[in-house]
Every structure is written in C-alpha cells, then in structure tokens.
Chains A and B, each alone.
Chain A
Amino acid sequence: MTDPLVIFDLLLAASVVALAVAVLGVRDLFAAIVLFVIFGLLSALSWVRLSAPDVALAEAAIGTGVTGALLLKTLHHLRFVSGTLDQQAALSVTPLLPVPGAVIWANAAFCGLITLGLAAAFLGAPQAGPGFDPLVADAMPQSGVEHPVTGVLLNFRAYDTLMEVVVLLAAVIAVWQIERGMSDAPAPVMGEVWQGFARLALPAIVVVGTYLLWVGAEAPGGAFQGGAVLAAVGLLLLLTRAYVPRPAHRGIARGAFVLGTGAFAAVALLVAGGGRVAFEYPPEHAKSLILLIEGLVTISIAITLAALFHGREPVALSTQGGRNDT
C-alpha cells in the first residue's frame, strides 16, 4: 500500500519539472514569466513537504512575488522601448541568430555531464546527516530565540546575514547607477478597481508582514519574509500612484537603504566592544538585540525591494508621468 502523500509528491515533482521546461519553451515572454511565478509557488509547496516552511515562505514572497514583479516591469519596459507594446504576444526582446550545430552539441554534452555528476553526487551523499542539527539543538538555549532557523540566521551565522543585507544594499546602489538618466516607459493606466483593492489590501498586508516578523522568534517567519510582504505595500502604493517618489525623498530612501546594514553592524561592534566576539550576544539580551536587528532590517528590506522595483532614482525632471511600472 503506497502512502497517498507519495503520489502527491510525485505529481508535484512532475509539475515542477514540467513547468521549468515550459518556462524556457513557451514562445510568449509574458506567458514565460507567469509560468515562472507558478513554478516558484509550486517549488515553495514542495519545500513545505520537505518540512522547510521558512524557505518556502521566503521563496514565495521574495523568489517568486518580488522577482515576478521585477520581471513583468522589465518586460513592459522592453516592449515599450522596442515599440511592440500594442502587439498581442511578447515574443522576444533580442533578435535571434542562427546557432551552429556544433555549439548546440557542445552545450548539450556539457550540460549532460554536469547533470550526471550532480545526480551521482546526490545519490552518493550520505542519507540524513551528519548535519549541524545536533550542534544547533545544543546551542539553541543560548540563542535568545526558540525557532532554530531564526537562531542560525541572526545569531550563529549572523555574519552571513549581515553580508546578505550588504548585497541588497549593493544591488540598489547598482540599479540607481545603471538607470541614471534613462528615459522611462509610461506607466500603464490602472483601472478604478486598483484604488479600491489597494485600500482593502494595504492594511491586511501591513498586519501580515509585521506578524511574520514578530512570529519569527518562535515559528516560521522572520525579517526577510516579513520585509518582502511589506515591500508589497510599497509596490501597491507605487502602482496605484498613492505614493509618487520625488527627488526630495532621495535622502530618506538612502537612509532607509543603509538603516538595516548600519544597525546590524552597529550591534556587532557594540557587542565586540564588550570584550566578546562580534555577534556573540550576551544571552540575557540576545532576544531584544535580535528583535531590534530584525525590526530595522525588515524596514530596510521592504524599502530596498520596493526601490528595486521602482528602478531609477527619482530625478527632478521626471514629474508625475515619469515613472515606469507595469
């Protein structure tokens, strides 16, 4: 008698692989992006089956939601620039060139070898361990939080997480530089429904995002998941034009980008100043320090992700119509 969940797993795995093929195979780019979003959500579901709810939340919110919004916005811009906005299907943004057969075969052989190696490595790896789980379980009482993933992210491997916030900061700086002085695609007209939807959804999103941040201490959730959900508030405000970025807001935005990295590094230095190693929080203050970092990092992540979506930094000559969004 097979477990019904095994059948579910097999079906889910088959759909994930089929969607991955479809993302690259479908001709219409808009369809490819939509299929990619479905692919991301089903991957998140598979990770729930592998008892990784934190990773699933992050993938659904950041890897699929925010990335999908970025992709759709870029597609809109590309179609506007190439003058194909009025066409039904978005076929390709780069002209296609004929590829010699030798190149295709070399690529196929290379990919086949890598895949075989990966499969062999996967099958040869020891099953179920030895991992870090006993070490983490031993150290959890000193971490200040009850949820192991949050403990690893913000206490045991906090250095990694600091670097991750730095990467996000570097990305927003790079995007502002790349898009400097670039002309914008006009924003598509949003219907009346949007305003009402935003009014209904915004308070709910704010509550959900804050809850995810708060619950991260003892259950799946945390700064990145909460930050991504709060970034959706920024996306909605930008899309409905309830908030229009102005040049005067650049200072505030820059401050918000740096806030997370700054607070994180400041706490590390403060702890290091007391004769400890950086990030070796005193156990009695660990929880409040972690919550302080998480709170500030969440604000920073939310604003940075919304800024990545908006793209270009707001400049003086772009007035009301100067924003590009999908």
Chain B
Amino acid sequence: MTPDLIYGFTGVAVFAIGLVGALCAQDRLRRVLALKLCSVGAGFMLVVGAWREPPAAPDPVPHALVITGIVVMVSATAVALALIRRLQSLEAEDDR
C-alpha cells in the first residue's frame, strides 16, 4: 500500500461523488459544491500522477497545473454564485 494507490482511489471516489451530486442535486448551491468536489477529485488524480517514491522529488508540472486549476475553479465558482444570487433575487421579485 503506497500513498499513490490510497489517494488515487480517494480521488476516483471523490470525483464520482461529485459527479453524482452535480447530476442529481436539485439545490443550486449544492450543485456548485458537487462540481467543486469533482475539481478536487481531479486534483487528487494529477497530484497522485506527479508523486514519486521518496526520496525522488515529485514532478512539478502537474503541481503547477493543479494550482492553475484551483485558481480557475475559484473564478468559475464566484461567477456561478453571482448567477445564483441574481437568479434568486429575480425569482423573489416575481413572487411578490
């Protein structure tokens, strides 16, 4: 049992959970959370791919890709949340 195997399956599981949530959750906020879980699962896979048996140093290129992915994901989340806020405000105005 090496860390890459353990965390590799963690990544697959987290991605699968996020995928189920993104497809099945009806609540908008929870759907965003599910997509966030998917992105963390994908991050797990890349970091596992970069891992080397110590003392060898890990591959820095996937690390840089994951950092880029995290920043892109926070931008996407911010836009999605702004859309949700707007949508909710519009729906509340319709109800009144």
Contacts and interface: CB of A to CB of B under 8 A. Distances in A.
Contact of A20 (B7, B18, B32, B64): B18
Interface string A108-123: 1011001100110010
Given A36-B36, A81-B88, A133-B58, A50 B67 contact: no
B9 to A, nearest CB: 7
A220 B72 CA distance: 20
Nearest 3 interchain pairs by C-beta: A171-B75, A148-B60, A131-B59
A21 interface: yes
Contacts of B1: 2, 6, 9-10
Interface residues of B, number: 77
B24 to A, nearest CB: 6
Given A149-B63, A224-B67, A305 B24 contact: no
A167 interface: yes
Contact of B79 (A58, A104, A178): A178
19 contacts: A24-B17, A32-B33, A43-B43, A50-B4, A55-B43, A55-B70, A63-B36, A63-B70, A71-B77, A74-B85, A83-B92, A93-B88, A96-B26, A107-B23, A111-B19, A133-B59, A133-B60, A157-B61, A160-B64
Contacts of A75: 29
A118 to B, nearest CB: 5
Nearest to B40: A43
Nearest to A14: B10
A29 interface: yes
Interface residues of A, number: 94
Given A63-B73, A115-B19, A171-B75, A94 B26 contact: yes
Contacts of A1: none
- Residue among B47, B49, B61, B71 with the most chain A CB within 10 A? B71
B61 to A, nearest CB: 4
A152 interface: yes
Interface of A: 2, 6, 9-10, 13, 16-17, 20-21, 23-24, 29, 32-33, 36, 39-40, 43, 46-47, 49-52, 54-55, 58-59, 62-63, 66-67, 70-71, 73-75, 77-78, 81-83, 92-94, 96-97, 99, 104, 107-108, 110-111, 114-115, 118-119, 122, 125, 127-129, 131-133, 136-137, 148-149, 151-153, 156-157, 160-161, 164, 167-168, 170-172, 174-175, 178-179, 182-183, 222, 224, 301, 305, 308, 311
A33 B8 CA distance: 25
B32 to A, nearest CB: 8
